[in-house]
Amino acid sequence: MYFVDERFGYGTIEEYTRRDRQRVGVLRGAFYRSYVKRALDLVAALLGLVILSPFFLVIAVIIKLDSKGTVFFRQSRVGKDGSEFLFYKFRSMVEDAEAMKQSLMHLNELEGPVFKISDDPRVTGIGKFLRRTSLDELPQLINVVRGEMSLVGPRPPLPCEVENFEGWQREKLSVLPGITCLWQISGRNHIGFTEWMRLDIEYIRRQSFGLDFKILMRTLPAVLSRKGAY
């Protein structure tokens, strides 16, 4: 059976049913991204900060006993629509780590504008444990509460990295960055930069409650496996 719809023209009932389903899917996804995701992020991050506060205190004491410097490492990162914000981590490197970076650039093990060394001499004793278990990332719950990050989303890049992005890679900045993502559960630093960016874009285009839930459920096993973590 055929009929005419002023918006789409001539077609079968089956075609219009398919189009309606697609429109409903788009609207549902937009509602989740605009309202539900933020509400879930806020509730989960606040609960996480309350429940983990004693654990935070223990980590803070160990960091102070292990090396000279602050408990938290703060760094400028690029978030949604290119806006910069202060990104929090437990400090896992020596106090002057950033000043030492230039002298270590020749040891970089990743392609593209990112900088990673598997046996980074700047990492402290407790820092190695924190980084391999991703416990150094927990303070980013503060960024989630402040609305600068989400629980799930592409990892926030450095300003110097964004300056060297190719055009298609800038789509990464169209959503809030996250604590965990497809890259996190797919091998992390064992993945090349181009593939990392491709995974970020894939997430952005497929973003949904179901995908976010799947990534969150796979994050702990990925962290425990320590694959690509350094």
- Tens-place pLDDT, residues 64-123: 999 999 999 999 999 999 999 999 999 999 999 988 998 999 999 888 899 888 889 999
The answer to whether residue 126 is domain-embedded is yes
> What is residue 67's predicted lDDT score, i.e. its pLDDT?
93
Q: Is residue 217 part of a domain?
A: yes
Using a cut of 0.75, tell me whether the model's pTM lies above it: yes
Phi then psi dihedrals of residue 155, to 5 deg: -65, 140
Expressed as residue numbers, the domain containing 110 is: 35-225
The pair of three-digit structure tokens given for residue 107, joined into one six-digit string: 């040891």
Kindly give the pairing relationship between strand 178-180 and strand 150-152: parallel
Residue 7 resides in a domain: no
Asked whether residue 185 is assigned to any structural domain, the reply reads yes
CB atoms within 10 A of CB 15: 13
Tell me which of 84 and 2 has the higher pLDDT: 84
Is 41 part of a structural domain of the chain? yes
77 DSSP 8-state letter = E
What φ, ψ does residue 9 adopt, rounded to 5°? 90, -150
Residues 187/153, Cβ–Cβ less than 8 Å: no
Written as six digits, the tokens of 123 are 């990492």
CA–CA separation, 212 and 184 (whole Å): 13
